[in-house]
Structure formats: C-alpha cells, structure tokens
Amino acid sequence: MTAIEKTLGLSFLNEDEPHRVCFANQNAELQDAYKQVFSAIDLLDYVYAMLLSAQVNLDKISLLSENQNLIAYPTDPLHFWQVVRVGQQYRLSQT
C-alpha cells in the first residue's frame, strides 16, 4: 500500500482506524486533481476495471511472462481515478 501511496501522492484511508474521519472524497463533484485520499473500495474498483480490461485482451494475458503483473500498479493519480470510475460503474451495474 505504501508504494501506491508514494507513487500517486495520495494517502490510504483505512476506514477501520478509529478517529480517522474524512469526507474529502465523498463529494461527487470533487475534481480528481484535488483528491488526497483513496480507500479500499477505490482500490477494489481500480483492480476490477483492470481485470475487465485484461479479460477483453485475452491475447495479451497469454503473452505475460511469470515476472509480469496482470494488473499494473497505478502511476498517475488522474489515470487512477479514471480507472476507478470505470470499475465503480461496472461494479454498481452488477448489483
């Protein structure tokens, strides 16, 4: 988690920690460039979207060597939030 925090310049919001309340990302109108924290559900949505993307490109999956990750670590916060939105939309459409 620390590697993702450092790369994105965002803090992981552990919702299980007491006395840690943050409503910063709960505003739907907050622009991605101003978000400062991400949660477990954001990371889940990112992974979900990346897996769906990989599933569409099955040919690429078969070309992966053992040393390559199926899901790339996010490196850009704006791209991270774009992918999170895709995963969130798909996750919510399945319920």
Per-run averaged pLDDT (10 residues), the chain, 95 residues: 93 74 62 90 94 67 56 91 94 88
**CA–CA distance, 87 with 52 (Å, rounded to integer):** 8
Would you state the pLDDT for residue 47? 93
Single pTM value for the model? 0.77
Map tokens 């060597």 to a residue: 65
In this prediction, residue 71 carries a pLDDT of: 80
Report the phi/psi class of residue 11: left, alpha or beta, with left for phi > 0 and alpha for psi in -120 to 50. beta
Amino acid in the structure at residue 59:
D
